[in-house]
Structure formats: C-alpha cells, structure tokens
Amino acid sequence: MSAVGTAPMLSVRGVSAGYRTPRGIVRAVDDVDLEIRAGEAVGLVGESGCGKSTLGRAIVGILPEGGFVDGDVVIGGRELSKLPAAERRKARGEDVALVFQEPMTRLDPLMRVSDHFIEMIRAHRPETSKEEAREMARGVLKSMGIPPTRLENYPHEFSGGMRQRIMIALGIVLRPRLVIADEPTTALDVIVEAQILALLEDLKNVYDMGLLLITHNLGIVAQTCDRVAVMYAGKIVEIGTVEAIFSAPKHPYTQGLLRSLIHLDTTHLSSIRGAPPDLLSPPPGCRFAPRCPDVMPVCTTRVPRLTETESGQVAACYLYPGA
Amino acid sequence: MIARKHRLRLLPERWLRPWREAGRFARTVVWVGAGITAIFVFIAIFAPFIWHYSGTAYQGIPKLAPPSGKHPFGTTSINFDVLARVLYGARLALEVVGLSVTFSVAIGLPLGLYAGYRGGWQDRTLVMVMDSLYAFPGLLLAIVVAAFLGRGVVNASVAIAVVYIPQYFRVIRNHVISVREEVFVDAARALGAKRRTIVWRYIFFNVVQSIPVIFSLNAADAIITLAALGFLGYGVNPPTPEWGQDLSRAIHDLASGVWWTALFPGLAIVILTTGMTLLGEGLNDIVNPLLRRVGIGTQTPAIGTVAQGGAAAGETQVLEQ
Amino acid sequence: MAKRGGSLGRYVLLRILLTVPMVLILLTFVFVILRVAPGDPIEAAYGQKLPPAEIAKVRHNLGLDRPLIVQYGAYLGDMVHGDFGKSVVTQQSVGTLIRADFPATLELTLTAMLVAIVVGVGIGSLSGRFRDTPIDLGGRLFGIVIYAAPIFWLGMMFQLLFSVKLHIFPSGGRTAAFAQPHHITGLYLLDSVLTWNWSAFWQTLRYLALPAITLGLVIGGVLVRLVRVHMLQTLQSDYVEAARARGIPEWRVVMRHAFRNALIPVITVTGLQFAALLGGAVLTETTFTWPGLGSQLVQYLDSRDYPGVQGIITFFAILVVFVSLLIDVINAYVDPRIRY
C-alpha cells in the first residue's frame, strides 16, 4: 500500500458545526479532529443524529440555512475557511466532492445528464468547450459502468443505482483529492450497494483519492475502509484501523455498537440501553456517561480527550490513562 | 374502545401543537388578520352606535361635499354620507360572506365526503363535473348566475356560493381519500367499528381542520366577488349600502375630480380582504408545515389550490399522531 | 431527438382527445344554467313590448318552443359547426359579434398576462430568494394587498391619478378616434406594427396602458405568492444542494436550477389564471369602457338576451379548455418527465 502517503490530505481541526433552531443552538458536531491521507478510506460511523452527516457537510461547507461551522478544514494544504468565498466555492468539486444518500432527487429533473457535466466542468474550467466537456463526461461515465450513449438522457430515465453512479461520476470528473460519501448506498438494494462500494474503492486505489465514507452500516465499513472513526452525540469517541476497531474496540460505546451487530451465530439481540442525549443541552462530562456500563464519577463532570490506547488507535474514555 | 379514548385525549393537543411550534411571524400574521376581521365584525354589528347617520339617510345631507368634520368621508351625488355607507356596507358584506360560505360548505362538504369515501364511478363523475366547473372562470360564473337570479342578498350569496362548491368538494374529497388509506382507519375497522362511525369519528375530524384555512381565504374572495357583482349591478337592491354598488356610482364622479366617493368604499374592501387573507394564509402556514419541513409534496399552496396545500397539511398531521 | 419529438406528438394528440369530454361537460353546464334556469328568455327580452302572438313567433323562429332535449341536441350540433347562435334582441349572429369584439379582449388579456408574468415572476422569485428579508416582506405584502384590491377599484384609482389629475393616460376607450390602424388582425398593436403606423401604435399603447396594468397587477399578485413558495421549495431541494456541493456559482444555482424548476408549476397556474383573467376582463372592460367581449356580455345580461349570453359564455368556455390544452402541451415540452 505505497499509495498511503504520510502528509494528511484532509485535516479537520477543532471543527464545530450545527444549526440555530427556535429552541436554541444545536451543536451537531462539537470540537472534532480528523485526518485522512491520500489513497486512504476512512469510515465515519455512528447512529442517526450523531452528527456524522453534518460533519460531512461542514467539510464541504454547504450547511443549510441557519447552519454554522467553526474551526479549520484543510484540504491539500489549503485552509478553506481562510479562502475568499469564490475560491471556497471552486474548492467544492475541484478539491472535494460530496456524494449524497438519496440519488433519486439529486439531479436536476429538467437537465440532461450531459448538461450536468457541462455545467460542472465549465463552472470550474471555463476554457473547456462543450464538446470537450461531453468527451470528459463520456469517459468518466464509462468508468462508472454507464454507457456513454446515455449521456443525452434525462435523470428520470435512469434507475437509482445508475443515478448514484452518475452522481459519483459528476463528483470525480474533476479529480478531487477527497470524496465524501454520505450513506451512498442506503437508498439502494444490496447488489447495487456492492457495485457502488467497489467503484468507490477503485477510485481510492486508482486515482489515489481520499475517501470519507459516512454510514451507520458497520459491515460496509469493514469491507471498504482502512480506518474507522466512531462518532457519538457530536463527538468522535474512537479512531483506529478497521482491524483494531473490530477486534479490540476500546471505547464502551464502540463496544456496545459492535455487540449490537447481528452475526450468523447471533443467539440473542443486544442493544445499548437508553437514548442519545439532546444536543440542545448535552450532559456536562462524557456524553456517553448516562448510558455507559463502565461509568465512573469523573465521567459526569469532565470531558475526556482522545488519547492513544495502542499504536494507531485513539479513544476518548477515562478507562485509559491520559484522557 | 381504546382508539376512541386515545383520540379524545390527543385531539386538543394535536390541534394546539402546530400553533405553538409556528414561528413568531406566522402567529403575528394570524393575529393581525384576526384583529382586522374582528374590527369589521364589530363595525357590522354596532354600526348604528358608531355613527349617527344611517347608510340610507339623505335628508339634510349636501350633495358631493368633500370630507369635513361633519362628514369625515364626504357625501355622494345622491346625498348619502360616505362614512355611513362604508360602515353599513360592512354589515352587508359579512352577511353575504357568511351565507355564501355556508351554502358552499353545506353542498361541497357532503359531496366531497361522499365521493371520497364511496370511490368508484360516483367519485369519478363528481370529480369530472366539479373539475369542469372549477376550470370555468369563477367570476363569470357568479356574474351569470347573479344576473339570472336577480338582485338580493340571498341571490347574490347563492351566486357566490356556486363558485366555491368545487373547492370545498376537492379539498374534502382529496382529504378523505388520503385519510381513508391511513393505517388507523384500518385499525378501527379491525376493531369492529361500523362504517359510519369510521366516517364521522375519524375522517370528519381530520378533514374539518383544513376548513378554517379555506374558509378565511374564500371569505376574502367572496368580499371581492360581491363587490364585483355590485359594481356590475347584480348585487343587492339599492339603496342598501353595498361597497361595489357605491363604487359603480362613484365612477361617474371621477371625471370631476371627486375622489372620496371612490376611495373609501374601496379601502374598506382592501382592508377587510387583506385581513381575511392574512388570517387564512397565517393559518395555512401554521397548519401546513410545508415551509418548515421540506419535501412533503409538490402540490401548490396558492389561491385556488390552497385546497391541496390544506390537504397535504392534513396528511402530515395524520402521520404525526 | 426524433424519439422525443415522437412521444411528444403522441402526448399532444392524447391530450387533444381528452379535451372533448371536458368541452362537452362545460357546454352541458352552460346549457343547463341558461336554459333550465328559471325564467323565459323571450318573456324576459320582449315581455312588455310585444303581443303574445308575436312572442310565440319569435320563440318559434329561435327554436325555443321545442323540447329541451331537442334544443340541447341542436345547441351541440350548432357548436360543432362553430355556430354560436343569434341574439334575441338584435337578431345579430353572436359568431360575427365575437369575431368583431374578441380581438379587443384578446389584446387586453394578452398584454395583462405579460404584465402579470413580469410582475409576478419578478417579485415572487426575488421574494423567495431573499426569504425573510425586507425584500421578501415587501413582496409578500404587495401580493396580498394587490390581491385584496378589486380590479375595478384599482382601475378607478389609476384613472383618478393618471387621467384626471396627471393627464398622462386616457381614462377609457380603445384608441384615439383618428388613430385606428388598418384592420388586419383586429389587434391594434399588431396591426399598427404590420402597417408601420407608429402613431397608431403609440396611441393604442396609451389607451391600453391603464386597463392592462390594472388587470395584470391583480393577476400578478396571485403569481407573486405562487412563485415565491415554489422558489422556497426548489431552493431547498436536493438537486440545488447537490449543485452547490459541486461548486456551481450561486447565481447559476438560483437561476438555472431553482428558478427554472420553480416555473414549472407556475406555468400550470398561469393557465388557470387565464380563466380568472377572462372574469377580470369583464370588470376591466366595464371600468375602462373597453369595447370587448366582456362589455358585450354585460350588455346582453342587462337586456336579458339569453341566447346572446349563451353564445359568449360558450365561447369563453371553449377558450378556457383550449388554453388549458395549450398549457399542458407547453408543460410537456418544458418538463421531460411529462409523457404519456
């Protein structure tokens, strides 16, 4: 795996993001650090509402109305928040692509597929002619397994799986350094899911792109990713290699999450008791403390930091010295 | 019956929740609209106590006098006091609005319930007839009906009512169809509830909450339609004070620069209609969470089609419980 | 492309076939209202003026002494042949009259529609784009208040201001007596362009301005609210978010993705509004003494000329059906998802 370089290609430092609501500010992402190297696939897992999608959007910088992002996002050495607005806009699509969960509604129903590509390419490389853009589109569609002859079709003429391929093709046509895929296969059936995941893996290997795969499905993380980040209630609680996390999880939440998986030899269902905290007023100490089987007095008053538990594995838990 | 007890406890809560969750803007809009409407209702009821001239008094009143202390809104070419005409006009307007909306609900609602619950060819026929009626220019319809029925309060109300019947029909029918498919109706059926019980207890209560929205928007529309009928001479019999009729007389004063006979009755219409529209739109914003929760449907909540907006609102309400 | 054209053609054909039952229902409806409604048209028109024998003769001449079902059949038959009947009072053919007066109404409604679209789409999309700002508040308020204003009152206020006080525009009529263009289509604006008669063009425009703006503003008020809501919806749509994530410039996201998609339902409602426009035209024509079909309808109604009313109303009904057909075809052309 010579492709995995040493300098991080994405570096997220102290990022908080969330939404202003009538009831107060919701910090869906709270002071998160994360790094991804070129050619590396990182899985971001957690239950729904833990802030993983918000983190993905915060990196790209497209939170919906009423949203906010603090902290630094550095992609390929450029710090996005310090760039002027026009440069930041250009970075989306050139440096980082975001692939969404529901492919059915992500393409403009009034535009041909070719027009999506032409618009995308010419928004970033105005000197490209329409015919050149079409040629680029044909190439990338072909690599995604879409016949180039369908370039002039409308979105409604494609199936969900094909639309997701088109979305990915649109995302990577300008060869960004990083692809963020937010539950890219949740809306698709299992066979199509496997195909899409294989495509994403190819991108990583062939083009040396970084991949942040956001999902609640631990299975596809095990299959696709090199490292895993586990998120709980707006915070990353554990990061490690896939092998380490699956064989020796350190954080009690990760442990609970893995226990709740169903295997062939599962005889009884296990789940984590309780419910995630309200992000409007999260608990003062460790956010998992109210549900944690190993809770200690210190957990309810102080916030644990990520500390190395083993080489290449960090967890935010007072069970391990240094937190 | 478990389901019934459950429902009785939930009903007020379910109706109040959207109100509490609505933004300050939507609530202000509702209050302003309700306030304006209330003022006009007050004027309509207490007109004789507000102003000492009656709408049809002419003795001792000069012709076409400009606004003054004695006649704050001026006087007309046939010796009426404009302020008195405006005040008493509110009385007639609200009377006709009340009557016409009652008529159209009385016909549209049962037809809609019937078509929606019954389905089949009865439904298809009614829908086709109502759609054709709806496609026809409403104002033209009202004008023709009014012209043939002749002038009068009840006749004008009927003419206006005809226009709105298809709207109530559509809303109610679409609503019934969506509610009919809901799980809880099946649940009630499984519990052994009678068909009629199902219709009345479940569908009716779910349907009825979209009525206030259409009601206030149609009421606003009805005020304008009545004025139009009056303007063309198909409203009520003179000298009954009616804004539209007064405006048709005022048009002849314009050339000589007399503005007060035209301005004030028109302003009354604009203000009352605005009030009712604000009330209806505000309620619509609150009942229909379209703008808070995105992507519910592609139906268009606009005039005329507020209908579907209301129905969509009902659907989400139902899903929430 | 050929494939697309073919399916569009099939769609249009189907859609045309679908208008047949709709026209039939509307014609039946017009007949029921005007013939079965209480009151006898001949009595109403001539009651006091002619002896009973004469009335019977008129009735017989017009075929009004036949059974209703026969009259209904004859009415439908006439319609198929494009015969709109005859006025009781003037004995004039309604068809001739429509040919003479309709251009005036068409000129008014088309210009008003133009005003409505410019005002409605312009203000509505700005309002939606700048949601919850003073621009939005102003746009929404404009939409509500203008909709609350009766057309004829708005027209009267304009007359007062622009004709009586400022003497900018005339207060009524279709054009100056000396400035009528040579009759080609009956649309004065078009005719004066075709004949290079610029003074006629200018005069027509002056006379047309107030009625068209009045009517257009009121209809535009409806469009403002509609366009605004759809802009809000499309601006929050998934494909707009996806376009933003691809780094498409914001103005392009708004114009090409949000605005274009917001216009699709607006086209449909604009078609529906055409019906309202015809109703409004009756009031506008009366207010501005505009010599169109609306004024003619009011005259017929006032003289209780039932067959005359029936002819014009039938014409309006067919017009409404035709416009809804046109709108559906435009929609199918613009929106690739609509194909049968």
pLDDT tens-digit series, residues B48-82: 888 888 877 777 778 888 888 888 898 888 888 88
Which chain A residue's Cα is nearest to B20? A22
Yes or no, beta carbons of B295 and C237 under 8 Å apart: yes
Note the pLDDT of residue A129. Answer: 94
Yes or no, beta carbons of C152 and B254 under 8 Å apart: no
**pLDDT band at residue B130, thresholds of 50, 70 and 90?**
confident
Mean pLDDT of C224-234: 89
Is the pLDDT score of B8 beyond 50?
Answer: no
**Domain C95-302 carries which CATH code?**
1.10.3720.10
Mean pLDDT of A72-89: 87
- Beta-carbon contacts of A24 under 8 Å, excluding residues fewer than 6 positions away, are A280, A281
Mean pLDDT of C129-148: 88
Neighbours of chain A (3+ CB pairs under 8 A): B, C
Mean pLDDT of C159-178: 85
Note the pLDDT of residue B148. Answer: 79
Check residues C183 and A293 and name the one with the higher pLDDT. A293
Mean pLDDT of A269-295: 85
Is the pLDDT score of B153 beyond 80?
Answer: yes
pLDDT one-digit tens code per residue, C156-166: 999 999 988 89
Shortest CB distance from A154 goes to which of C237, C247, C336? C336
Within 10 A of C317 (CB to CB), how many other CB atoms are there? 25
Yes or no, beta carbons of C246 and A91 under 8 Å apart: no
Note the pLDDT of residue B193. Answer: 65
Note the pLDDT of residue B5. Answer: 43
Give the pair of three-digit tokens for residue C292.
């169109």
For an interface test with A, the pick among C7, C230, C246, C248 (most A C-beta atoms closer than 10 Å) comes out as C246
Task: Tell me if the bond preceding A252 is cis, omega within 30° of 0.
Answer: no
Taking the Cβ of residue B23 and every Cβ of chain A, the question of whether any pair is shorter than 8 Å is answered with yes
Name the range with the highest mean pLDDT among A287-301, B57-71, C324-338.
Answer: A287-301
Rounded to 5 degrees, φ, ψ at A44 are -110, 110
User: Helical H runs in C236-305?
Assistant: 238-245, 250-252, 260-287, 293-302
Chain B 280-299, residues with CB within 8 Å of chain A CB atoms: 295
Please state, for a pLDDT cut of 90, what percent of chain A lies above it.
Answer: 46
Q: What is the DSSP string of A194-261?
A: HHHHHHHHHHHHHH--EEEEEES-HHHHHHH-SEEEEEETTEEEEEEEHHHHHHS--SHHHHHHHHTS
Within 10 A of C87 (CB to CB), how many other CB atoms are there? 25
Shortest CA gap C110–chain A (Å): 27
Indicate the average pLDDT of chain A: 88
Shortest CA gap B22–chain A (Å): 10
Note the pLDDT of residue A15. Answer: 92
Which of B163-177, B180-194, C189-203, C319-333 shows the lowest per-residue confidence on average (mean pLDDT)?
A: B180-194
**pLDDT band at residue C73, thresholds of 50, 70 and 90?**
confident
**pLDDT band at residue C38, thresholds of 50, 70 and 90?**
low
Check residues A203 and C209 and name the one with the higher pLDDT. C209
Mean pLDDT of B6-25: 58
Note the pLDDT of residue C3. Answer: 42
Give the pair of three-digit tokens for residue C309.
């009313």
**Radius of gyration of chain B measured on its C-alpha atoms:** 22
Which chain A residue's Cα is nearest to C236? A64
Is the pLDDT score of C61 beyond 50?
Answer: yes
User: Helical H runs in chain B?
Assistant: 2-21, 24-50, 82-118, 120-135, 138-149, 153-180, 183-190, 195-197, 205-208, 211-232, 243-250, 260-287, 306-320
Mean pLDDT of C278-299: 90
Is the pLDDT score of A95 beyond 60?
Answer: yes
Taking the Cβ of residue A22 and every Cβ of chain B, the question of whether any pair is shorter than 8 Å is answered with yes
Note the pLDDT of residue B183. Answer: 56
Chain C 281-320, residues with CB within 8 Å of chain B CB atoms: 282-283, 286-287, 297-298, 301-302, 309, 313, 316-317, 320
Nearest residue to C109 via CA among C250, C253, C280, C227: C280
For an interface test with C, the pick among A108, A156, A177 (most C C-beta atoms closer than 10 Å) comes out as A108
Give the pair of three-digit tokens for residue C269.
């409602």
- Beta-carbon contacts of C58 under 8 Å, excluding residues fewer than 6 positions away, are C42, C46, C50, C88
pLDDT one-digit tens code per residue, B156-172: 999 999 988 998 898 88
**pLDDT band at residue B24, thresholds of 50, 70 and 90?**
confident
Within 10 A of B280 (CB to CB), how many other CB atoms are there? 26
pLDDT one-digit tens code per residue, B188-216: 666 666 666 766 666 666 666 667 778 88
- In degrees, to the nearest 5, what angle opens at C-alpha A262 toward C-alphas A261 and A263? 115
Rounded (10°) angle between helices B2-21 and B306-320: 120
Shortest CA gap C117–chain A (Å): 21
Environment class of residue A56 by beta-carbon count within 10 Å: exposed (0-12), middle (13-18) or buried (19+)? Answer: buried
Cross-sheet strand order for the sheet of A235-241: A96-99, A178-182, A210-215, A41-45, A227-232, A235-241, A313-315, A307-310
Is the pLDDT score of C279 beyond 70?
Answer: yes
Please state, for a pLDDT cut of 70, what percent of chain B lies above it.
Answer: 72
Q: Please state, in angstroms and rounded to a whole number, the distance separating the CA atoms of residues B306 and B164.
A: 12
Environment class of residue C236 by beta-carbon count within 10 Å: exposed (0-12), middle (13-18) or buried (19+)? Answer: middle
Check residues B248 and C198 and name the one with the higher pLDDT. B248
Look up the pTM and report it.
Answer: 0.79
Indicate the SS3 state at residue B222.
Answer: helix
Is the pLDDT score of B186 beyond 70?
Answer: no
Shortest CB distance from A106 goes to which of C131, C242, C334? C242
Indicate the SS3 state at residue B172.
Answer: helix
Q: Which helix (H) or strand (E) holds A55?
A: helix A52-60
Taking the Cβ of residue C4 and every Cβ of chain A, the question of whether any pair is shorter than 8 Å is answered with no
Q: Please state, in angstroms and rounded to a whole number, the distance separating the CA atoms of residues A57 and B270.
A: 47
Within 10 A of C302 (CB to CB), how many other CB atoms are there? 12
Give the pair of three-digit tokens for residue A75.
């992609």
pLDDT one-digit tens code per residue, B264-320: 999 999 999 999 988 888 887 777 654 443 322 223 333 333 333 333 332 222 222
Check residues B16 and B57 and name the one with the higher pLDDT. B57
Nearest residue to B32 via CA among B301, B285, B277, B291: B277
Spell out the CATH class of A8-95+176-250.
Answer: alpha beta
CB contact at 8 A, A89 and A110: no
Is the pLDDT score of B18 beyond 70?
Answer: no
Note the pLDDT of residue A279. Answer: 84
Note the pLDDT of residue B312. Answer: 31
B81, β-bridge pairs = B75
CA–CA distances in Å: residue C137 to residues B294, C128, C312: 21, 10, 41
Which of A158-167, B9-18, B176-185, C232-241 shows the lowest per-residue confidence on average (mean pLDDT)?
A: B9-18
pLDDT one-digit tens code per residue, A110-129: 999 999 999 999 999 999 99
Check residues A55 and C302 and name the one with the higher pLDDT. A55
Note the pLDDT of residue B295. Answer: 29
Note the pLDDT of residue B188. Answer: 65
Q: What is the DSSP string of A265-300?
A: T--S----SS-PPPTTS--SS-TTGGG-TT--GGGG
Please state, for a pLDDT cut of 90, what percent of chain B lies above it.
Answer: 25
Note the pLDDT of residue B185. Answer: 60
Within 10 A of C267 (CB to CB), how many other CB atoms are there? 14
Q: B44-78: string of b/e by CB count within 10 Å (b at 16+)?
A: beebeeebebbbeeeeebeeebebeeebebbbbee
**Radius of gyration of chain A measured on its C-alpha atoms:** 20
Q: Please state, in angstroms and rounded to a whole number, the distance separating the CA atoms of residues B233 and B239.
A: 12
Note the pLDDT of residue C48. Answer: 67
Shortest CA gap C269–chain A (Å): 19
Domain boundaries, chain C: 2-80, 95-302
Q: What is the DSSP string of C287-313?
A: HTT--SHHHHHHHHHHTT-HHHHHHHH
Note the pLDDT of residue B3. Answer: 43
Yes or no, beta carbons of C238 and A62 under 8 Å apart: no
Query: What is the CATH T-level fold of the domain B23-54+70-320, as seen in this structure?
Result: MetI-like fold (1.10.3720)
Note the pLDDT of residue B314. Answer: 29
Shortest CB distance from B228 goes to which of C148, C150, C222? C150
Q: Using the Cα atoms of residue C276, residue C301, residue C152 and residue C144 in order, give the sign of their dihedral.
A: negative
Q: Please state, in angstroms and rounded to a whole number, the distance separating the CA atoms of residues A60 and A55.
A: 9
Shortest CA gap A83–chain C (Å): 14
